Chains A and B, each alone.
Chain A
Amino acid sequence: MLYLFCPTCQRDCDETELSCGGQAHLIRRDHASNDKDFYKYLYERKNDKGIIFERWRHVYGCGKWFHTARCTITNQVFGSYSAKEVQPPKSILANIRRSRVDFKGWVK
């Protein structure tokens, strides 16, 4: 059972306090987008084995969304950051590289 840091409440939260919102940093495609991009936005999600970036909401607490970087194999967490970030902050990426030398960086 995960224990994730909520950047708003500044504390670790039991997984039962949170709800998961899937892949982070999705770009919304509106009516002006082409069908292919829209299809990808609606239905295509990454399913990586290893490092993923995901969204969580502290639904039982402050109600705020945040992002985390997590390894799906070991459940190691590399940090939480604001849901307003459009890509993972440098500090998080550096944190990942420290324990995963082969980490290729964040891919859109």
Chain B
Amino acid sequence: MSSRLPQEGSRINREKTIDFRFNGKNLKGFDGDTVASALLANNELFVARSFKYHRPRGIFSAGEEEPNALMGIGKGSFFEPNIRATEIKLKQNMNVESQNHWPTLKFDFLSINNLFSRFFAAGFYYKTFMWPRAAWKYLFEPMIRRASGLGNVPREYDEERYEHIYHHTDVLIIGGGLAGITAAKALRDRGLSIMLCEKDCVMGGRYLEDCKSGNQERYKKLHKGSMEILKKSKDISVKLNTTVTGIFDHGFVLAYEENQHSKTATKKALWKIRAKTIILCAGAIERPLVFPDNDLPGIMLAISVRDYLQKYGVLLGDRLVLTTNNDYAYKTVIELKHRGIDIPVVLDARASADNPIIKEAKDLGIRILFGKCIGKVEGRRKVSAIGICSVNGEGTIEELIPCNAIAVSGGWTPNVNLWSHCGGKLLWDGECGFYKPDPENTPIGKEGETNMLALGACAGVFSNYDIQDQVPRKINQLASRLKIKSKRYIETNIFSKEPTKRTIPTFVLPHGASKDKQNKMFIDFQNDVKLSDLQLAAQEGFENVEHAKRYTTLGMATDQGKTSNVNGIYVLSQSLGKPVDKIGHTTFRPPYKPIPLGLIAGQYAKKLFKPVRKTPIDKWNSLNNAIWEPVADWRRAYAYPKGKESLEETLNREVLSVRKNVGLLDASTLGKILVKGPDAGRLLDLIYTNMMSTLKAGKCRYGLMCNEAGFVFDDGVVARLNDQSFLCHTTSGGADRVYAWLEEWLQTEWHHLKVFIVNLTEQYSQIAVAGPKARELLQAFKSIDLSAEKLPFMNFIETDIDNIWVRIYRISFSGELSYELAVNSNQSEELWNKLVKAGKKYKVQPYGTEALHILRAEKGFIVVGDETDGTVTPHDLGMEWIVSKKKNDFIGKKAFSLPHLNSTLRKQLVGILTLDKDKVLPDGCHAVEDGKAIGHVTSTYFSPTLKRSIALGLIENGRSRKGSTLEFQSLSKESIFAKIVDPNFYDPEGAKQNE
């Protein structure tokens, strides 16, 4: 039974009680508790069900390595699943729920899986795919989905606050333990900016708790002094509660700040750090020994047993057995013994050991058995006794010892994940049994320089004396290598040199465990990977460690194998009969620990999710009931429904008002690119397929641009403003693309041309005034003569309308008499209102993008992106007339001479009229001939003008099919028959637009 001691606990404030709920039970903890320490204080040992077999699991650690105790925390819009109970701070009224069980944790129906565990061996999942086919869909998939897994997906929108923060620093120190603190002190006053990230809420890591009680005061003084130096140093910035989760190219680092202590809501920030040099002081993680029944609640890492004791005053059990292979773990039982806790036995896998710490334990009266280990653990939902067996042998039980807790230590694994994220190589240290950073193969920065240095426990240096000895030296070396102000840093070592604490690399005990025992030895707790699974993988031929990992899922859970990795590799090496350093290791990838999805989104959620561009007339559109259509990043008015009108009625009204009276369109999104300079005409001749240099000032010309492969890229009207200047209009979605295209050619190919390009898209707003009464409307304003003589089709003038400067282009995308008014954007709303007011007399109607599309389709005008898809040439569109034969060179010219672009089998633009005039073809539906698709519909509408369905399409050899009837099919399987015609349904002679 776990419990809280009456005093002690460096992290908790016993004055302040915190109420929380666990699976509906009201429990109490203290301020400063983690969820895990509070659960243990309330004797909640059994807190989870395992991933595959639904076995009872308990809290196994006190940090981010926790494989078992994943919880759903919070409620409603603050609910977050899969949180490690060992990392989350307890808060008043916090709701905590265990996961992966049904109906309850204690009585989990699916724990039946445990009985059938031999069916769930490594690779069972893949084997379910094989046979029989139907079984996957109806049997295996539903079963696996229910049985496996983590927490539930939150049902409500996440209201947590997330943020991104950019930070640049010369040096980033990862970890605020002894190594990190010493490194920061050694680097200060050298003109560098230094950032230190510590994942915990206090600085210091392990070194304060590790000291002998006699030396505590001296160490505390050192720590206090160090903190004062860090505080005073303006060049050092320290972030607590901040875990570095990933290291990427060129010193880019992601760190996750989770400030659970702030007075306001929890703040979660993703720091995007760019560091020139990274100093890794990430420490080490204790790993367990692998023994039979090693996953029962009540079994915990030895260091974590001590953490709960010293930091939270929580006792895992009052009769605790330690099983270990190293000296360091003895500290745990010594601390417990000092507090009067019963330690029936310590099982040391080594044949003997002579470190003074062993004597200290013996002097306290602790019984130590060398060469022994745990052969079995009794207890169904928690530990009740252990059976002792010999290390060598199959595990015959010699003695049964009742106990309620087991501390386990298999030695320490340096935290090398971050070293490996960006290319650092690892070395196998056979003496200690772990991987450590290879100082010869470091991660590199942008200039190929070594940009990471590992210090302290993560580099395999564990003693405080060695750390305080080595770190200043290594930092001084680094400083001279980086050629930074190299004031030598010297620090007196206050630690005394102690005899080395030894670990004899043993991983699986007993060595000759029987099959039956191997079946109960868990290596990866979170993914339920057993010793037998790894052996099976080796047997089935998965010799490469990366393959074995994926086959067994070893280390692939959210804890990324922090406690299981080294043990797993060892087992694999045994099974394959190869030494560990020949096996290699799997690749560590970011994130080092799981981060919430919301953190990746940062502040860019909800209204900041995507920038929506709004036109200068957006407010008017909005007030006048516009429904919106996204066009690239813009929102444009799709239509303006009135009253109870259906959409069909709206479109009908808008189209007919243009055909009969006059309509207004907000065309502000149209791209407008100024091309200016003595060579402007030359550049445009190269860009457009037709001739632009011959255009006279004051005139407009429609142009098409293609890419080098001969495919249409954009189109629009070019206006020549004066001798040197052209204003090129582009499609709404194409403005930025075309601007970039022009810049690219100008900068990288034709940089000898004297031309400048300015993207003026948003300087000018554009309003189309279209319809037979357009001229009357505009002439209602004083002084404008817009007669056909004064302003013929495809010409423009500059003038004022009520003191507002306008450039009036006489161009038409609807086939009607039409003008487009360019106006400075700041005055565009004012002009629009004037036009609306003056237009009342002429029954003016605003029309949206859908009416615009119908109007142009009636005229057979193409829209880039509808009639073209990046594989369509001007010839395909029947626009040979726009491809200059005179010009020497332009983009696409060579391609037009290639045979496949001139084949008669190419799809060509045609008009399509359904035989049943009320039947509108589905957009994109296919024309079918002899069971073969020969083309598709690109635009299709009901034309209010012609009172019938019309469509445009690309059909193989379409122009020669005019007059014939084709069958069109869509997903609805209904065939529609339609006649192929010329793609111009309205006023083919263009009399109206020329009026």
- Please determine if A and B sit in direct contact within the complex, based on CB atoms under 8 angstroms apart: yes
Measured between alpha carbons, how far is A59 from B744 in the docked complex, in Å?
11
Do A83 and B747 touch (CB < 8 A)? yes
Q: Which of B441-466 contact A (CB under 8 A)?
A: 444, 446-448
- Would B251 and A74 count as touching, CB distance under 8 A? no
In the complex, are the beta carbons of B744 and A77 less than 8 A apart?
no
Chain B interface bracket (under 10, 10 to 19, 20 to 34, 35 or more): 20 to 34
Q: Is the CB of A99 within 8 A of B744?
A: no
Report yes or no: A1 in contact with B252, Cβ–Cβ below 8 A: yes
- Across the interface, A38 reaches (CB within 8 A) one of B743, B747, B889, B894, namely B894
Q: How far is the CB of A98 from chain B (nearest CB, A)?
A: 9
Contact present for B744 and A31 (CB under 8 Å)? no
A59 neighbours in B (Cβ, 8 Å): 740
Q: Given A3-B251, A55-B748, verify A76-B708 contact (CB < 8 Å).
A: no
Contact B749 A77, beta carbon cutoff 8 Å? no
- When distances are taken between beta carbons in the complex, the residues of chain B under 8 Å from A76 are 444, 446-448
Chain A, 5-59, CB within 8 A of any chain B CB: 14, 21, 28-31, 33, 35, 38, 41-42, 55, 57, 59
Q: Tell me if B402 is interfacial: C-beta within 8 Å of chain A.
A: no
B747 cross-chain contacts in A, Cβ below 8 A = 64-65, 83-84
B856 an interface residue at 8 Å Cβ cutoff?
no
B893 touches A30 (CB 8 A): yes
Q: How far is the CB of B424 from chain A (nearest CB, A)?
A: 12
Is residue A89 contacting chain B, with contact meaning CB distance below 8 A?
no
Does A75 belong to the interface (CB within 8 Å)? yes
- The reply to whether B444 and A31 contact each other, CB–CB distance below 8 Å, is no
Asked if A3 contacts B446 (CB within 8 A), the reply is yes
> Which residues from chain A contact B744 at a C-beta distance below 8 Å?
21, 57, 65
CB-based contact B444/A30 at 8 Å: no
* Interface residue? B898 (CB, 8 A): yes
A2 within 8 A of B: yes
**Known contacts A1-B248, A3-B252: A28-B749 contact under CB 8 Å:** yes
**Contact assessment for B250 and A1 in the assembled complex, using a CB-CB cutoff below 8 Å:** yes
* A63 contacts B by Cβ under 8 Å: yes
- Chain B window 704-748, contacts with chain A (Cβ cutoff 8 Å), 1 for yes, 0 for no: 000011000000000000000000000000000000100110011
- The answer on a CB contact under 8 Å between A3 and B894 is no
- B123 interface residue (CB < 8 Å to A): no
A3-B251, A29-B894, A33-B894 known; A42+B708 contact, CB < 8 A? yes
B749 lies within 8 A of A3 (CB): no
- Binary interface encoding of chain B residues 891-921 relative to chain A, with 1 for a CB under 8 A from any of its CBs, else 0: 0011101100000000000000000000000
For the complex, give the distance between the alpha carbons of A33 and B248 in Å.
44
Q: Count the A residues whose beta carbon is within 8 Å of the partner chain — how many?
A: 29
Q: CA separation between A42 and B893, bound complex, in Å?
A: 13
Check A75–B898 contact: CB distance below 8 A: no
Within 8 A of A (CB), among B239-262: 248-252
In the assembled complex, which residues on chain A have CB atoms less than 8 Å from the CB atom of B448? 71, 74, 76, 99
Known interface pairs A65-B747, A83-B748; A31-B897 also in contact (CB < 8 Å) = yes
The contact string, 1 if C-beta is below 8 Å from chain A, for chain B 931-944, is 00000000000000
Residues of A within 8 A of B889 (CB): 30-31
In the bound complex, residues from chain A placing their C-beta under 8 Å from that of B749 are: 28
* Pick from A3, A28, A35: contact of B898, CB under 8 Å: A35
Task: Give, as a whole number of angstroms, the nearest-CB distance from B459 to chain A.
Answer: 22
Residue B837 CB within 8 A of the other chain: no
Q: Closest CB-CB distance, A100 to chain B, in whole Å?
A: 9
Task: Give B370 Cβ to nearest chain A Cβ, in Å.
Answer: 49
Distance A33 CA – B898 CA, assembled complex (angstroms)? 12
Residues in A with CB closer than 8 Å to B250 are 1-3, 75, 77
A10 CB to nearest chain B CB (Å): 16
Within 8 Å of chain A (Cβ to Cβ): is B751?
yes
Encode B522-547 as 1/0 by CB contact (under 8 A) with A.
Answer: 00000000000000000000000000
Kindly state whether residue B344 has any CB partner on chain A within 8 Å. Answer: no
Q: Report Cα–Cα, A64/B894, bound state, in Å.
A: 28
Nearest-Cβ distance from residue A62 to partner chain B, whole angstroms: 11
**A1-B248, A64-B747, A84-B751 given; A74·B740 CB < 8 A:** no
Nearest CB on A from B898, distance (A) = 7
- The answer on a CB contact under 8 Å between B893 and A31 is yes
- Cβ-defined partner of A75 (8 Å) among B249, B709, B740, B894: B249
> Does B306 sit within 8 A of A, measured CB to CB?
no
Q: Check if B149 is an interface residue, CB within 8 A of chain A.
A: no
| Assembled-state Cα–Cα distance A8/B250 (Å) | 20
Give the CA-CA distance A35 to B896 in the complex, in Å. Answer: 12
Cβ of B274 within 8 Å of any chain A Cβ, yes or no, is yes
Bound Cα distance A21, B250 (Å): 20
- Residue in A closest to B752 when the chains form the complex, CB atoms: A84
Chain A residue contacts of B598, Cβ below 8 A: none
Chain B residue at smallest Cβ distance from A21: B744
Provide a sorted-by-A list of 9 A–B residue pairs whose CB atoms are within 8 angstroms.
A1-B250, A3-B250, A3-B274, A30-B889, A65-B743, A65-B747, A75-B250, A76-B447, A77-B446
Q: Pick the 9 closest A-B CB pairs, nearest first.
A: A76-B448, A3-B250, A1-B252, A31-B894, A31-B893, A75-B249, A65-B747, A83-B748, A77-B446
- Besides the known contacts A30-B893, A74-B423, 9 further A-B residue pairs in the complex with CB atoms under 8 A apart: A1-B250, A28-B749, A35-B898, A41-B708, A55-B748, A57-B744, A59-B740, A64-B747, A83-B748
